[in-house]
């Protein structure tokens, strides 16, 4: 049996066998070193000069000769899906620029966790591929719901320069900060390129990149950025993470830490910028202890703040947290 693969040259189309296709690394996507629970491709730490940082959208690289810029993917996904599906087509164009951020595939909390994981895989795989082609790469970090914390910080070498975006997450600030602080703890980035205005609570060596300046936008009276396209106005920008509807994905009163996570890890819950709980996980990735930093509105049962709660896994399908301080 022959499988028609679209290996296109100027004059020929190459046919390969079914066996060759099944073992093709571009089908298996397994050619790079992988790390973490889900074996995500590793994007290696690189030294990159960050003086006078400017970004250019991937959709504009054929229209610009500003090769001192760094290519970004803070765009709607359909504008850059090809960089994962057919990456070799843009290699020569991307090589001309100072560096490239990894693609910012969306991770909305409404998405099934499998899609959030696949978005992270595509991000890391593309970064590893571009590095293999001799291009300098900066990982873009994106997180979805709390379960995504089990993988969304993997595949990035500690001490790397990373990029994040605050565009469109103002209503979801608590959830954004939860992921941001977790990123600082896990990756320990040397520098953080922030596309959009950083929140005051954000720590680290942050390099702000002005969203309006990058996109030649003006700010409206309603505090939204607007851009005119052939006679209509587009209120931007809702892309990337949090809630697909732009609502508060992370309404702090409804956020819950998962009972299972990365083995021997710690997750922290914040509400309105304040630490509420640390959850510690055992070697099997099961919650074993919580340290709570409030009295839950019940000082009689919780006279000590902070205080501890422990988890009972006698019934693996229904773990129970102790109700009072132990």
HEC profile of 67-119: CCCEEECCCCHHHCCHHHHCHHHHHHHHHCCCEEECCCCCEECCCCHHHHHHH
> Of the given ranges (151-165, 168-182, 249-263), which has the lowest mean pLDDT?
249-263
pLDDT average, residue stretch 107-133: 94
CA atoms within 13 A on the CB side of 82: 7
- The answer for residues whose C-beta is within 8 angstroms of residue 167's C-beta and 6 or more apart is 74, 195, 196, 211, 236, 237, 239, 240
The reply to whether 250 falls in a domain is no
Dist. CA 325–CA 271, nearest whole Å: 21
Label residue 255 by pLDDT band (50, 70, 90). low
Q: Across all residues in the chain, what is the average pLDDT?
A: 83
Boundary (domain end) residue, out of 184, 211, 242: 242
The reply to whether 42 falls in a domain is yes
State whether 163 and 263 are in the same domain: no
The reply to whether 178 falls in a domain is yes
State whether 213 and 265 are in the same domain: no
Label residue 55 by pLDDT band (50, 70, 90). very high
State whether 208 and 229 are in the same domain: yes
State whether 178 and 299 are in the same domain: no
End-to-end CA distance of the chain, in Å? 66
Range of the domain at 9: 1-27
Please choose, from the candidates 156, 160, 100, the residue with its C-alpha nearest in 3D space to the C-alpha of residue 131.
Answer: 100
The reply to whether 225 falls in a domain is yes
Give me the percent of the chain exceeding a pLDDT of 90: 53
State whether 270 and 140 are in the same domain: no
Q: Tell me, what's the pLDDT at 42?
A: 97
State whether 44 and 122 are in the same domain: yes
pLDDT average, residue stretch 170-176: 86
State whether 215 and 274 are in the same domain: no
Element (H, E) at 287: strand 287-292
Dist. CA 255–CA 143, nearest whole Å: 14
Label residue 168 by pLDDT band (50, 70, 90). confident
More confident residue, 270 or 183: 183
State whether 99 and 21 are in the same domain: no
The reply to whether 212 falls in a domain is yes
What tokens does 147 get?
């379960």
- The answer for residues whose C-beta is within 8 angstroms of residue 10's C-beta and 6 or more apart is none
What predicted TM-score, i.e. pTM, was given to this entire model? 0.69
pLDDT digit string, tens, across residues 217-247: 444 444 443 333 322 223 334 455 665 555 4
Number of domains in the chain: 3
> Of the given ranges (52-56, 94-98, 225-229), which has the lowest mean pLDDT?
225-229
State whether 96 and 226 are in the same domain: yes
Label residue 135 by pLDDT band (50, 70, 90). very high
Q: Do 262 and 278 meet the contact criterion of CB atoms below 8 Å apart?
A: no
């Amino acid at each position: 049996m022959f499988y028609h693969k679209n290996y296109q040259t100027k004059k020929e189309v190459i046919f390969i066998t079914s066996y060759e296709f099944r073992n093709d690394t571009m089908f298996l996507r397994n050619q790079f070193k992988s790390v973490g629970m889900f074996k995500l491709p590793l994007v290696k730490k690189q030294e990159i000069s960050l003086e006078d940082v400017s970004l250019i959208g991937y959709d504009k690289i054929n229209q610009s000769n500003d090769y001192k810029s760094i290519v970004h993917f803070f765009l709607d996904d359909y504008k850059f899906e090809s960089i994962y599906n057919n990456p070799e087509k843009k290699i020569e164009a991307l090589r001309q620029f100072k560096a490239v951020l990894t693609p910012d595939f969306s991770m909305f909390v409404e998405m099934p966790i499998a899609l959030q994981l696949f978005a992270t895989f595509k991000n890391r795989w593309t970064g590893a591929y571009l590095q293999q082609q001799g291009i300098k790469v900066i990982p873009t970090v994106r997180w979805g719901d709390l379960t995504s914390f089990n993988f969304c910080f993997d595949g990035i070498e500690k001490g790397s320069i990373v990029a994040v975006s605050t565009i469109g997450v103002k209503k979801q600030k608590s959830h954004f900060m939860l992921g941001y602080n977790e990123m600082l703890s896990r990756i320990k980035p040397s520098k953080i390129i922030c596309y959009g205005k950083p929140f005051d609570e954000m720590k680290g060596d942050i390099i702000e990149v002005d969203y309006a300046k990058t996109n030649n936008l003006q700010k409206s009276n309603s505090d939204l950025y607007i851009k005119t396209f052939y006679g209509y106005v587009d209120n931007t920008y809702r892309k990337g993470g949090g809630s697909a509807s732009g609502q508060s994905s992370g309404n702090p009163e409804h956020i819950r830490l998962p009972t299972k996570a990365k083995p021997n890890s710690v997750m922290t819950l914040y509400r309105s910028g304040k630490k509420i709980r640390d959850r510690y996980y055992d070697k099997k990735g099961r919650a074993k202890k919580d340290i709570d930093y409030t009295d839950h509105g019940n000082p009689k049962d919780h006279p000590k703040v902070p205080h501890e709660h422990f988890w009972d896994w006698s019934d693996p399908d229904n773990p129970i947290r102790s109700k009072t301080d132990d």
